[in-house]
Structure 1
Amino acid sequence: MSATGSGTHRVPYRVETGRLVLRCWAPEDAASLRAQLDASDEHLRPWIPFMADEPRTLAATAAWLREHRASFDLDWGYRYAVFDRSERSLLGENMLLKRVGAHALEIGYWIAVNATGHGYAREASAALVRVAFELLEVRRIEIHCAPGNRPSAAIPERLGFTHEATLRDRVVDTEGGHHDLMIWTLFAADFPGSPAATAPIAAFDALGETLL
């Protein structure tokens, strides 16, 4: 079922861009994820809520990835591992989350500390914008971030999102601090004129059939 609640199941399990491969997590990715999260702890902890539960053991990480895969298969939300095109190097994660209301999805992302500064999060997010509008037929995509996280806020700005609001004192970080929350939005009507609309991608379903 699409994110709009109707239509055939057109969720891609694999998305390819010019430099990246996004694919559904698998338990065998646990060691690569564990290494990147451990190396990126200081980099990610101020901004990424799940870091409150880190560090996990390798077994707990594998179990966590099984939960991600189950949620993906059940259409509860779509979390993608982001690799280079060789699929040898895990670079981060991009997500399509069902927590911003009907006919809408939220894009989330993080990039490992050793992969920052190359535009990977922007490239992967542009791909998921196309997936959300062209395959899942949503009416709205949101990106949320803290005002102090300028690299994160630059991504929706460069993809043509509008900064609709900054909500005061809305987020509690992993250390118990309180922060404002920026809401960036792109509507389906504005998507064709956005930079994301021309992002080159290929998308494939669980059987490897081409969707885009």
Structure 2
Amino acid sequence: MARLNTEIPDLGDLRPFRSSRMTFRLLDIDDAPELQVMTDSPAITSTISFLTSPFSIRNAWELIAGEGDEWRPRFIGGWLFESRRLAVVMGVILHGAHELEVGFWVRPSLHRKGLAKEAMEAFLPLAKTLFPLRLLVAECTPSNVPAVKVLNALGFVTDGATGRKPPRSRFELTGCTAPPPEARRGPG
């Protein structure tokens, strides 16, 4: 079985938090079956470049454990209070000493219900508190119009620069403390 990646400083200590409709916590290996069911849909796998289709239980274990990923992301699950179903997944990646990348996907049957925005609105204040000197960034393919709209509504803007994983575009959260320009796009 995959080993949970706990080597990322600070993210492993993230405490559960809430929004008006969901409770959030770091995903663990026991969440793999629900993550697999939620994610194994062309509506998800066709828009997120690092997900495979079909998305297997092994893929879910590996994603949660961070195996084979040079950036060692952590994933936060959002469960609806009412149904106790996994509704939203947020990915969080520390890049070097200056950036925190965030991303998200929503269970396909729950698209266009405001859950992505609600989840990110619950997480972003925590991210700013935990990592006050990091620039908050996101990457998204321009053709993923719903996700771009959510990012824009949250205050993320893009100058059209290509992200770390083309063809994704890079977005930066306005109003964040930014590292010096020479450190922004450095390695890591």
Equivalent-residue separation in structure 1 for 2:12 and 2:38 (angstroms): 30
Query: Would the aligned equivalents of 2:45 and 2:52 in 1 still touch at CA under 8 Å?
Result: yes
User: What is the TM-score of this pair, normalised by structure 2?
Assistant: 0.74
Which SS does the other structure have where 2:161 is aligned?
A: strand
How is 1:51-90 mapped onto 2 (pairs within 5 angstroms)?
51-52=51-52, 54-56=54-56, 58=57, 60-61=58-59, 63-64=61-62, 67-68=65-66, 76-86=72-82, 88-90=84-86
Quote how far apart the aligned CAs of 1:53 are.
5.9
Distance 1:27 1:154, change over 3 A: same
Equivalent residue number for residue 15 of structure 1: 17
Say which structure is richer in strand: 1
Equivalent residue number for residue 131 of structure 1: 126
- Which protein shows a greater Rg? 1
RMSD: 3.1
Q: For this pair of structures, how many residues does the alignment match?
A: 167
Q: Which runs of 5+ in 2 are unaligned?
A: 1-7, 179-188
- 1:183 and 2:176 matched: no
Task: Work out the percentage of aligned pairs sharing the same amino acid.
Answer: 21
Equivalent-residue separation in structure 1 for 2:19 and 2:111 (angstroms): 17
Equivalent-residue separation in structure 2 for 1:63 and 1:78 (angstroms): 12
Q: Which amino acid aligns with 2:38?
A: Q
Distance 1:45 1:11, change over 3 A: same
Moved over 6 A (4+): none
User: What is the TM-score of this pair, normalised by structure 1?
Assistant: 0.67
Query: Would the aligned equivalents of 1:25 and 1:65 in 2 still touch at CA under 8 Å?
Result: no
Name the structure, 1 or 2, with higher relative contact order (CA <8 Å, separation 6+). 1
Q: Which runs of 5+ in 1 are unaligned?
A: 71-75, 172-178, 191-212
Equivalent residue number for residue 140 of structure 2: 145
